Amino acid sequence: MTNPLLSIEQLGFRYRTATQSALQDVVFDAAAGELLLVAGGSGSGKSTLLRCLNGLAPRSYRGEFTGRLQIMGQDPASLNLAQLAQLTGTLLQDPERQIVASYVERQAAFGPENLGWSRERINTAVATTLERLGITRLRQRETHHLSGGERQKVALAGLLTMQPPILLLDEPLASLDPASAREALALFRELADEGRTVLLVEHRVEDALAADPQRALFLAEGRQRYLGDIAGFLQFADPREVKLPVTIALQHGGNGVSQPVPPRPRPSPGDPLLEFKDVHFAYGDGAPVLRGVSLTVRQGEVVAILGPNGAGKSTLLRHTIGLHKTQRGLVCVAGQDVRRSTTAQLAHTVGYVFQSPSHMLFASTVREELAFGPRNLGRNAAEIEALLPDMLTQVGLDGFADRAPFSLSFGQQKRLSIAAVLSMQPRVLVLDEPTAGQDYANTIALMHTIGALRGLEATVVITHDLDLAITYATRVVLMRDGQIEADGPPEQVLSDPARLERCRIIPSSLLQLNLQLLPRTGRFLGSAELAPYLAEGYLSCGP
């Protein structure tokens, strides 16, 4: 490759507190105009690779750095972080860690201001970037009132205004609704076509393919397992670690199956646990976020709530833990008005896992993080200690009890935050974007663990992951503009193309296949349940 912008030889890194290397012997070049897909399971070293490229490792993340790295012909060790920031722009997995300004416009201008640009140049860059991302309407909004997806777009705006030649994008689709994700991928392709080098780290390979990456780099356990064209990668990749188009995933593991499995029975819903009655809400003097929402979640239900960024999904569910108070209407938890309940009382019934782990994690060790909630609910030390091994196993964190939470990968932090809530044994579990940062294997294991928990009476999942809703939800609720657009069984709610378009949902390959097979199955099924149809020729089509 002639004149690569990035050149990496035998790159390795071991964090100071770790016994094993997070990266070993990574070798690749990336040229101007290339979009390189970087994939791998949770904890495979993808984020560590980006930290090495942007200089945070070993400067901020201390440890042992080995190998050779050149960025635009320069050794990054000879550059300070301000100089590196003009060469490489990084979008973090968690936008909460990247947004430093109170208003969207100021966040977009923050980088150029620190680089000493003129006011006129900054104003032009900010206006152009916000328009390019389709968020000009957010320009005067306060950043702490934005949805997770809106924050992700604003964090990206802060990166793009500085116009770095190399873009390092760490799970940029995690908080975006499907249509916004598709728009972002088109933008990444456009930026590469303009001559930038783009490294796109994504578990959601099926979605990332829309950006038309030239090559893929696959990491596993910190080592480079594949570097090459996309066709070869799709044949090589393990569908348990990255999300592939369903037909390709089933071709990897669909041999030897014969008869279709019968649909799983859905339990009859029981007593109401969460009730929203004509709920209205706005932040301060801003526009209404919720406009007359009425919804009931009952025992035995797994409810998936989908909809565009800013639709009010998280705002609605935060009422159940007392973070918001209705301006009109009523919210009840297990029959009790939340306005007459304390946060501690609500915590006995509702366990809420926030979208960002940084909103939840604070203890010095994983052990302390998991013990904090049960201790505050009055459980004794022996009982708490007995819970820990099983809880760590359930979320794939065996051996991490004495690690600092923020030394974990984003996906591991997410699973830890879920475990911290599960340790309090709530009756209702609310998960806000649980699949962010998770590979497919961890997502499946987590959802199976949740489904098997004794004492858990209902689960509510706020998600942009359409396949998660198809596979696990007994009921789907679509929200748009602060109201409920549709509510019912997945095969009923997700079968209307016009409705999906209004709610910015792009059909996945799993949805398309389920719609094709619905006359035979009678209901939507997960990919594993669809595998037997491979033998009957239904999955012979391409991705």
Ranges of residues in the chain with a pLDDT under 70 are 1-2, 253-267, 534-543
pLDDT of residue 263: 52
Tokens of 203: 């578990």
Q: What size, in residues, is the chain?
A: 543
CA geometry: angle at 71 spanning 67 and 76, to 5°?
65
H and E: helices and strands count for the chain: 21, 19
Q: Count other C-beta atoms under 10 Å from residue 433's C-beta.
A: 24
63-71: strand order across its sheet: 63-71, 6-15, 23-30, 223-229, 215-220, 35-40, 197-201, 166-170, 88-91
pLDDT of residue 254: 45
pLDDT of residue 94: 82
pLDDT of residue 539: 52
pLDDT of residue 384: 86
Selection from 222, 247, 190 nearest residue 533 by Cα:
247
User: pLDDT of 33-72, one tens digit each?
Assistant: 999 999 998 889 999 999 999 999 999 889 999 999 999 9
The single-letter DSSP state of residue 77 is G
pLDDT of residue 135: 95
pLDDT of residue 260: 45
pLDDT of residue 543: 42
Selection from 175, 202, 151 nearest residue 35 by Cα:
202
pTM of the entire structure?
A: 0.88
Q: Which CATH architecture has domain 6-243?
A: 3-Layer(aba) Sandwich (3.40)
Selection from 509, 464, 505, 437 nearest residue 201 by Cα:
437
User: pLDDT of 378-418, one tens digit each?
Assistant: 888 888 888 888 889 888 899 899 988 988 877 888 889 99
pLDDT of residue 236: 93
**E-strand stretches of 367-415:** none
